Amino acid sequence: MIDLDSPVVAVLGDHKKKREAIEEKLGLRTVGDLLHHFPRRYVKTGELTRIDELHEGDVLTVVGQIASSNLATYKDRRTGRPAYRVDVTVRTDGPSFRISMFAKNEKVGRWQQQQRMPVGRRGIFLGKVSSFRGEWQLTHPQVVLFGTPDEDAAQLSLDAIGEFYPIYPLTKGVDSWDLQRAVAFALTVLEDVPDVVPEAVRRQYDLLDVRTALERVHNPHDQGEISSAQRRFRFEEALVTQLVLAKRRRVLREQGARARTGDQGGLLAAFDERLPFELTDGQREIGARLEEDLAQPHPMNRLLQGEVGSGKTVVALRAMLRVVDSGGQAALLAPTEVLAQQHHRSITALLGDLATGGMLGGAADATNVELLTGSMTKAQRTGPMSRIATGEAGIVIGTHALLEEKVIFADLGLVVVDEQHRFGVEQRAALTDKAGTPPHVLVMTATPIPRTVAMTVFGDLETSTLTELPAGRAPIQTNVVALAERPTWFGRVWERVREEVGKGHQAYVVCPRITGDEQEQGESDQLDLDEDGDVMPAASPAGGLAAVEEVAVQLAEGPLAGLRVEKLHGRMPPDEKDRVMRAFAAGEIDVLVSTTVIEVGVDVANATAMVLLDAERFGVSQLHQLRGRVGRGGLPGLCLLVSHAEPGSPARDRLDAVAATTDGFELSRVDLEQRREGDVLGKSQSGYRSGLQNLRVLRDEKTILQAREAANALLDADPRLRQAPDLAAEVARLEESVQSGFMEKS
């Protein structure tokens, strides 16, 4: 007998290469790993598979029936001798397929035709679809026929297969039936299986026990068994994740923090008196909540989300001034130099003489606002770092440079992290570690986050949302320029840009590349995923992707000749980038050709048009963020998504979704469905791989809510989970994993 910790070789056959592939490539090293490697889908064995649409190159797994099986003779070109081929036609509930198998001699061919592939036999066929002379083919197919338990190890009896055949995530050299056979054997010899979910929780939420769930997920008899097994394992994963996050929240709450009541200065009051505009109701309400949080003797950990232009920066600045009024310092961490510089400019402009502390003409309650970025020279850093260390600088704005060990704060009371999706918990922790006592933390994002994502991905944070837009924001018209269907529309794009400039306005042109194949630092293409969640290769348009260096020249010499065209990207020297941004803001540039460095924080009221070239290379949230750079000055905005994506492709669907709505919360759901959740507890909070195995935060919203409720109840009754040792062990395993090994720092 075996248990979950037994090596996986105990239930595998003698095929060395398959064993190595299962262990090394699939990462299944124990029987427990194997049994928790769940099927990604199932095919019904009792009926022919329905196929509505086929494309060249599709990989299919279907139940089919052999409609014809014929032995053909042909001349081998290499030897000139007769050769033999068995041509088989497989019928489905849809198109039929042709399969060809080659035989060494006529005797082998006859056996294949009559014994291995007889007419009328049903089975499972897996292969890549191709077309030859108007006929669909399955190339190099893998075949499991029902009711043929012969000496071929790949053949399984109908009894072993059951009514639903599981299709597992695979790797090269491993077939679905290799895993199915190993799983079936493991379940027959497996001893007692520890159940992570306590019995009382299973009863309360009507969940299967783990043994029953394993049997049903791998060998179901009906759809109901599949659903109940999947629900149990999704709840288990949600429960463990929510327990880790709930424990983290409780640890943070138990940490002592200095209450920042703002009773030592009048900087915030002076700032409020000078504000040239009225705060929205949402800004006032969240501002009051932040003041309440800052006044507590435990750290604030809050997520502030809101649409592009909803006024998050003003809310964050008021919280920073509150901390400065309390004798502390506030640090704002931005993901790019362009954004850090923009924040520095806008905050010093908002503060006016309140940002000139210690200087001639400075206001009585003024402080200093310092900027610190990675590209600054040692000499340029000396002054700011000295003023940060002495506490002279009340507000510090910077990039990852703030995380360096040499940067020392006198009394860091508040950490503000802008564009949270660019940073993970680990990076957030690196900055908060610089405080003598745990600082208060405010993280901001203009990427709207659905409730369950905020609860799961940002589960250690309380969430506040700015739903109003300040007065003066104008509507933005978004259109997809589909070059695959209408290539002549490209010329009209530049005519529209000229029309906007002719009205006295300005425009952005955004490219996915700097030059050739060089991307902006920290950027990655938005590639599509296959049904297993693996990244699919993206085809580049003929002539390559648009690049800033080339496009700027082409536009200045071609369709936009006579206009003032400049370029901007991350490889330019910082002083040059700053010069270009200042010139664009001053109206001295008509068209700015840029990478996504202008995605966040750039605020030029006169910019009304944006052209995104090769728009299919950007993600939904990124497109929404970029679009938010126009229409900021009360003038209607225009956003043109230029794309070579074919109609019906995931990339085109993404663009159509962005064009259909400016509701960031609706788009965030579209984005998440395509992009997955990211590593929930780790530093990768975006990207193609999800740290969640079975759980999907949109699909499983009800399950996550129940698991959060159960997690809080368990910890209230038993903070150390002593009454649930198996669950405690699983929580500890996740806490100690790579994703969350730094958790105690956050």
For residues 350 and 317, is the Cβ–Cβ distance under 8 A?
Answer: yes
Burial class of 538 by CB neighbour count within 10 A (0 to 12, 13 to 18, 19+) = middle
> Residue 508 to residues 496, 546, 564: CA-CA distances in angstroms?
12, 14, 12
- Picking from 59, 91, 184, 210, the residue whose alpha carbon sits closest to that of residue 532 is 59
> Residue 263 to residues 319, 351, 396: CA-CA distances in angstroms?
13, 19, 21
Query: What is the pLDDT, as a whole number, of residue 544?
Result: 72
Query: What is the pLDDT, as a whole number, of residue 746?
Result: 34
Query: What is the pLDDT, as a whole number, of residue 541?
Result: 57
| DSSP one-letter string for 228-259 | HHHHHHHHHHHHHHHHHHHHHHHHHHHS----
Q: How far apart are CA 394 and CA 409, in angstroms?
A: 10
Query: What is the pLDDT, as a whole number, of residue 173?
Result: 73
Q: How far apart are CA 272 and CA 486, in angstroms?
A: 53
> Residue 375 to residues 336, 386, 535, 569: CA-CA distances in angstroms?
11, 18, 34, 14
- Picking from 152, 90, 153, 155, the residue whose alpha carbon sits closest to that of residue 118 is 90
Q: In this structure, which amino acid lies at residue 710?
A: A
Q: How far apart are CA 53 and CA 94, in angstroms?
A: 9
Query: What is the pLDDT, as a whole number, of residue 156?
Result: 44
Query: What is the pLDDT, as a whole number, of residue 511?
Result: 93
Query: What is the pLDDT, as a whole number, of residue 327?
Result: 92
Q: How far apart are CA 379 and CA 661, in angstroms?
A: 48
The structure tokens listed for 576 are 């040059």
Phi first, then psi, for residue 381 (nearest 5°) are -80, -25
Query: Which position has the token pair 């840029």?
Result: 594
Query: What is the pLDDT, as a whole number, of residue 144?
Result: 77
Q: How far apart are CA 440 and CA 329, in angstroms?
A: 11
For residues 440 and 260, is the Cβ–Cβ distance under 8 A?
Answer: yes
The length of the chain is 746
For residues 328 and 267, is the Cβ–Cβ distance under 8 A?
Answer: no
The structure tokens listed for 68 are 């014809």
> Residue 451 to residues 159, 259, 442, 626, 666: CA-CA distances in angstroms?
45, 29, 18, 23, 12
- Picking from 641, 647, 686, the residue whose alpha carbon sits closest to that of residue 660 is 641
Query: What is the pLDDT, as a whole number, of residue 196?
Result: 95
**Cβ partners under 8 Å of residue 233, min gap 6:** 36, 38, 213, 217, 694
Q: How far apart are CA 646 and CA 652, in angstroms?
A: 6
Between 223-254 and 210-218, two packed helices, what is the crossing angle to 10 degrees? Answer: 130
> Residue 565 to residues 340, 476, 556, 581, 615: CA-CA distances in angstroms?
24, 23, 6, 13, 21
pLDDT along the chain (746 residues), means of 10: 86 79 86 91 79 76 87 81 86 87 79 79 84 81 67 43 78 78 88 92 97 93 93 94 88 84 89 88 94 93 81 93 95 86 89 79 80 90 93 92 88 85 57 79 78 64 78 81 90 95 96 79 51 46 78 94 93 88 93 85 84 90 85 86 88 90 78 57 37 74 90 95 94 72 37
Q: How far apart are CA 38 and CA 170, in angstroms?
A: 11
Phi first, then psi, for residue 139 (nearest 5°) are -85, 135
Phi first, then psi, for residue 585 (nearest 5°) are -65, -30
Rg value, the chain, Cα: 31
Query: Which position has the token pair 């190993």?
Result: 182
Instruction: Count Cβ neighbours within 10 Å for each residue of 123-148 and write b for 16 or more, e otherwise.
Output: bbbbbebeeeeeebbbeebebbbbeb
Q: How many CB atoms lie within 10 A of CB 361?
A: 7
pTM flag (> 0.75): no
